[in-house]
Amino acid sequence: MSKFLPLLLLFLLSCGGGRTLHVVGILQWTEEIEAYRETYRGVLDGLEEGGFSEGKNLKIIYINAEQKRERALKAVRTFLRQRADLIIALGTGSALAAMEKTRKVPIVYSIVGDPEATGIKGPNVTGTSMKVPVKDQLKEALKFVPQVKRMGVLYCPKMPQAVATAKEAMEAARTLGLQAEEIAVPEEELSALEMRLSGKLPHLDLVYIPTDPILHRPELFEKVLSICSSYQVPVVGVSEDVVKRGALLAYHCSFYEIGRQAAAQAVLILSGMEVKKIPPEGPHIRLLSLNLTTARILGLHIPRRLIQRADNLYQ
């Protein structure tokens, strides 16, 4: 056998020095929403920073679920057939689909609204959520619109994270002394969104949209903004992207950074650490995004001291 050793070493070197090729399945819930694209970019950069690069020691199987549960489940089955060492699930729907299909392959999630409330946990599961407590978000909002007394919580109840964060918003509003009204619009009734909102907005001072991948679809969110603007009611969201598009403000995570955080957890697993030894995390970085153009349209005066607090300013 010894005479074959030089040939074996030459073969290993030609295959990248004998480095293990890890297979990672990345399941993205949607590419339609910028926050998901930013999280994915953070994951890729974080993996590379941790020493795992595609084409060197990493094979990535990427699938976009297009916000469809059956497509997500099919994607997980593909990962399992390809003997993935790890599944990175971007979005609550993605994480739930991965958990449904495997209790053995490690799962790392990101851009999940409320993992505890939506049941995203298990011996093979860890990750980094996008969760900034709604009470903290509303406290920030009330600094900019202190006259708010009545608030609507608008969401589509199809997705579990929307239901969970809407419930949290209702409770947070009450603890802050606000009158809160739940506005749940089922997906099949979204065509009547204008009629539903028009009956509510004359009695509201603010509309909060929680973690909801349905209402955050660009065309639906633009519609909500247009209707609310016609009644001079500010909209508060959960990402920089919605502020860029016209919401008044959001106090939120950095989606790129939670992608990098999740990647750091993935790197530990790929390096040999057991997933059960890696605790779930929330976002390390919180940001405040503010749209001054929207404030002017709504006739809101924002003091300079508050403007200076914004991490992202649109005007």
Per-residue pLDDT of the chain (315 residues), as tens digits, is 334 334 333 333 344 444 589 999 999 999 999 999 999 999 999 999 999 999 899 999 999 999 999 999 999 999 999 999 999 999 999 999 999 999 999 999 999 989 998 999 999 999 999 999 999 999 999 999 999 999 999 999 998 999 999 999 999 999 999 999 999 999 999 999 999 999 999 999 999 999 999 999 999 999 999 999 999 999 999 999 999 999 999 999 999 999 999 999 999 999 999 999 999 999 999 999 999 999 999 999 999 999 999 999 998
User: pTM for this structure?
Assistant: 0.83
The verdict on residue 97 lying in a domain is yes
| Whether residue 57 is found in the same domain as residue 203 | no
| Whether residue 189 is found in the same domain as residue 222 | yes
* 132 within 8 A of 252, measured Cβ to Cβ: yes
| Whether residue 258 is found in the same domain as residue 304 | no
The verdict on residue 305 lying in a domain is yes
The verdict on residue 6 lying in a domain is no
| Whether residue 217 is found in the same domain as residue 95 | no
The verdict on residue 189 lying in a domain is yes
The verdict on residue 4 lying in a domain is no
| Whether residue 26 is found in the same domain as residue 100 | yes
| Whether residue 190 is found in the same domain as residue 214 | yes
The verdict on residue 268 lying in a domain is yes
The verdict on residue 217 lying in a domain is yes
* Helix/strand/coil (H/E/C) assignment for every residue in the chain: CHHHHHHHHHHHHHCCCCCCCEEEEEEECCCCCHHHHHHHHHHHHHHHHCCCCECCCEEEEEEECCCCHHHHHHHHHHHHHCCCCEEEEECHHHHHHHHHHCCCCCEEEECCCCCCCCCCCCCCEEEECCCCCHHHHHHHHHHHCCCCCEEEEEECCCCHHHHHHHHHHHHHHHHCCCEEEEEECCHHHHHHHHHHHHCCHHHCCEEECCCCCCCCCHHHHHHHHHHHHHCCCCEEECCHHHHHHCCCEEEEECHHHHHHHHHHHHHHHHCCCCHHHCCCECCCCEEEEEEHHHHHHCCCCCCHHHHCCCCEEEC
Predicted confidence at residue 20, as pLDDT, reads: 85
| Whether residue 120 is found in the same domain as residue 152 | no
Residue span of the structural domain in which 71 resides: 11-130+254-285
| Whether residue 244 is found in the same domain as residue 143 | yes
CATH number of the domain at 95, please: 3.40.50.2300
| Whether residue 158 is found in the same domain as residue 297 | yes
Residues 193 and 152: their CA atoms lie apart, in Å, by 14
Tally of domains within the chain: 2
| Whether residue 156 is found in the same domain as residue 259 | no
Predicted confidence at residue 95, as pLDDT, reads: 97
| Whether residue 153 is found in the same domain as residue 202 | yes
| Whether residue 148 is found in the same domain as residue 240 | yes
The verdict on residue 124 lying in a domain is yes
Predicted confidence at residue 12, as pLDDT, reads: 39
